[in-house]
Structure 1
Amino acid sequence: MTWTASTPKDQLVEFVRLRERIDDLSRALLASATPVFGTVSLSTPNVDASPELAFIRTASWLYSHYKEAGRVGVKFLMDRPAVQSLPEVRAHERLVHALRTWSQHTINPAPGNHDRGILKTCTDWFEEACAVLLPSSDEDWGRALSVLLADSCAFVSQLAKQVEDIRADDARSQICQQWEDRIARDWPAYRFHEIVSTVANDMGRNTVDPVALFRRSENEIRRVLRITKDSDLEFAARQCIERVLLTEISKLLPITGRDIIDTLGVEPGRRVGELLQEARKIYEEDHCTRDQLIERLAPLTGLD
C-alpha cells in the first residue's frame, strides 16, 4: 500500500478525514445510523513528538480504531469479497495488531511460541519499511512512522471504497441488513458479565469472577453469537457460557496437594503428584465433593 501525503502530520490529518468520511457514509447507509468507528477514547497521537514515542502511540491508536471502536464495522467491510482479494489490506490490519502487542507487552519469542510469529511480523515489516530489523535511531523511527501512517491511509481509503460500493450495489438492502445483524450481535461486555454471573449463581458457583471468565473466553463467546441462527441471542449466549463454565470447572479439582499432605498424611514428594493424577481420573468420571474425593483417595495412599 502507498500513500502520497508528505509528512506524518499530513498523513494523520488525511487518516482522520477518511475516518470521518467512512463514519458519515455508514450513518447515512444504515437504518441504525451506526458509524464504523465512532468515538475512539485513545487521544490522537502527537506525531511531532519523539519519533519512537509517536510510532508506539500511533500503533496503539490505530489498534483502537481497527480492533476496538471499529470491531464490527471494520471486520464486516474486510469480509467483503473485494477485500478478500487484497492481501495487503488484511496484512496491514494484522501488522497493527502485532505492533501494538510488540510495543505494549512483554513477549517471549522462543521457538514454537506464538510470540515468535509476532516478532517476525514486526521485524519483517521494519526491514522493508526502514531497512533495519528493529529501529534504533530517530531516523529509523521517523521512517517507520511515515510508512505506517501511509499504509493506514490506504487501508481506510479501501474501507471507504467498500462502503461506497455497498451504496451502489443492487443488493444494498440485503447487505445492509447483514451489517445491521452483525451490529445487533455485538453486545457490550457488561451484558455478557451479567449472564455469566447469572449462570454461575444458577450452578452454585458464586465465587466465579464474571469479568475474568468472560475476558478469558470472549473470542469464543462472541464467535458463537456471530454465527448462531437462533433468534434468541440471550439463550445462545447462555448455552455457550454454560459450556465454558463447565469446562472451567472440570479443570479445577476440589482438592490440592496440600489436602493430600495434611488430610491423608502423605509426605511431600512424587507420591503427592501421583495421587493428584488419580484424583483427576476419579473426578473426571464423577464430579464428587472434596470430602468424597479424599475418602476415595485414602485407600490408594498405602497408609494405615
Structure 2
Amino acid sequence: MNSSEEVLKSFDKLSACKQEIDSIVSQIIEGDQLFGSISIQFTSDGIPECRFQRVTSWLYTLYWEAGKKSDIKFLVELFDKFSLDAGRNLSSHFYLVQSLRTLLQHNIANEDAHNSKIQRNCSEWFESICEVSQPENDFHWEKCLLKLIDESQSFLEAILKCIQLIESNESKDELIYQWNMRRKRYFSPWDYDNLIREVMGDIGVTKDVVQLRNRYQTKWNKFLKNLSIDANFTFELKKLILDTLLDDQEKLMPLMSDDIMSEFGIAAGSQDMRKILAKARKMYRIDSELTKEQLLAILRADL
C-alpha cells in the first residue's frame, strides 16, 4: 500500500468513527448530533502539504464549527473521570488543530503573546515528528499528515468511548443533565451570526454582522450563563439581540467632553463632567435632532 492509499484508508476510518459518534449522540441528546455535516471534502490527490492543509481544515471544521465546541469541551473534561487521557495528549490535540489551522490559514506575523503561543505549539509538534520546526519537503509533510490523522483517530475514539461510558454510568442521568445544561448555553459565532441576520431582517436594519457580534458576544454569553436551564435560550437571545440592535441604532450624541470643558470651564476627570454628560445624553435620547449648540444652551440654562 502506497502512502496515498494509507492516508485515504486512515481518513475513511476517521469518517466512520465520526458517523458512529453522531449516531449514538442523536439517541441520548435530544435527537441532535455531535458533529453533523461537513462541506469540506478530502482527496488523496495532490502534494502532501496540500493534503495536510485539507485535513487540518476538515478537522478544524469538525471540532470547532460543525461540532459544538461546548459538547466537545464537556466530553474532554470527562476524560480524566474515565481515565481516557493519562498523558494529556488527546485533549492537547483538540487545541493543536486550532493552532495548525491558524498557522496555515491566517496571518500571525504580529509577535504578540497569542501568535507566539500558536507558533510555539505548532513548531514543537512538527519538531517531534520530523525534527525541524517547520516541514521542509514532501517526506516531512507526509509524516505530519499521517501523524495528524492518527492523533485525530485516537481523539475521536476517546470521544466515542467517553459517550459509551456516560451511557453505562450509574450517574448517567446527572451527566446528561449537565451536558444539556452546557450545550444549551453555548452559541457558536455562526449561531450568533444567523440570529443577528434574522433579527436585522425582521426590523429592516443593515449592519456588519461580525463586527456587531465581536462587540457584544461576551456580554451576551454572560446573559446566557445566568438563565435558568428551563429557559428558551434561543428566544431569550433573540430578544437580547433585538434590544442591542435598537439601542445601537441611536445616533451618536454630537456633544463631546472637550465641548463641556470649553463651555463650562470644567477640568478633565471632574465628577461634574460625568453629571453634565449624563444630562446631555438623557436629553438627546428624548430628542435626537438636537444640535451641539442647542444641547449646550439647554445645559447652560439648567446649571
TM-score, with length taken from structure 1: 0.70
What aligned pairs does 1:102-141 form with structure 2 within 5 A after superposition? 102-110=103-111, 112-141=112-141
Q: Secondary structure at the match of 1:107?
A: coil
User: Structure 1 pair 51/217, CA: closer, same or farther in 2 (3 Å)?
Assistant: farther
What aligned pairs does 1:74-153 form with structure 2 within 5 A after superposition? 74-80=72-78, 81-82=80-81, 87-110=88-111, 112-153=112-153
5+ residue gaps, structure 1, are 1-5, 265-276, 299-304
Q: Secondary structure at the match of 2:134?
A: coil
**Residue aligning to 1:69:** 66
Rounded Cα–Cα distance in structure 2 between residues aligned with 1:196 and 1:219: 20
TM-score, with length taken from structure 2: 0.71
Please report how far the alpha carbon of residue 131 of structure 1 lies from its aligned counterpart in structure 2 after TM superposition.
1.1
Compare 178-187 and 234-243 and name the one that shifted more.
234-243
Compare 21-30 and 162-171 and name the one that shifted more.
21-30
Please report how far the alpha carbon of residue 113 of structure 1 lies from its aligned counterpart in structure 2 after TM superposition.
4.3
Rounded Cα–Cα distance in structure 1 between residues aligned with 2:255 and 2:86: 53
Rounded Cα–Cα distance in structure 1 between residues aligned with 2:229 and 2:292: 40
Q: Secondary structure at the match of 1:136?
A: coil
Please report how far the alpha carbon of residue 27 of structure 1 lies from its aligned counterpart in structure 2 after TM superposition.
2.2
Q: Secondary structure at the match of 1:153?
A: helix
8 Å CA contact 1:127–1:134 kept in 2: the answer is: yes
User: Structure 1 pair 121/254, CA: closer, same or farther in 2 (3 Å)?
Assistant: farther
**Residue aligning to 1:59:** 56
**Residue aligning to 2:8:** 9
Q: Find 1:50's aligned residue among 47, 52, 55.
A: 47
Please report how far the alpha carbon of residue 293 of structure 1 lies from its aligned counterpart in structure 2 after TM superposition.
4.0
Rounded Cα–Cα distance in structure 2 between residues aligned with 1:224 and 1:56: 37
Rounded Cα–Cα distance in structure 2 between residues aligned with 1:52 and 1:25: 34
- 1:231-275 CA deviation, whole Å, 9 max, x = no partner? 43357526764796699789x955599xx9xxx9xxxxxxxxxxx
Alignment of 1:180 with 2:180, yes or no, is yes
Q: Secondary structure at the match of 1:7?
A: helix
Q: Secondary structure at the match of 1:134?
A: coil
8 Å CA contact 1:99–1:122 kept in 2: the answer is: yes
- How many residue pairs were aligned? 267
Identity level (%): 25
5+ residue gaps, structure 2, are 260-267, 298-303
Please report how far the alpha carbon of residue 97 of structure 1 lies from its aligned counterpart in structure 2 after TM superposition.
0.5
**Residue aligning to 1:28:** 27
User: Structure 1 pair 70/107, CA: closer, same or farther in 2 (3 Å)?
Assistant: same
Q: CA RMSD in A?
A: 3.9
**Residue aligning to 1:269:** none
What aligned pairs does 1:157-172 form with structure 2 within 5 A after superposition? 157-172=157-172
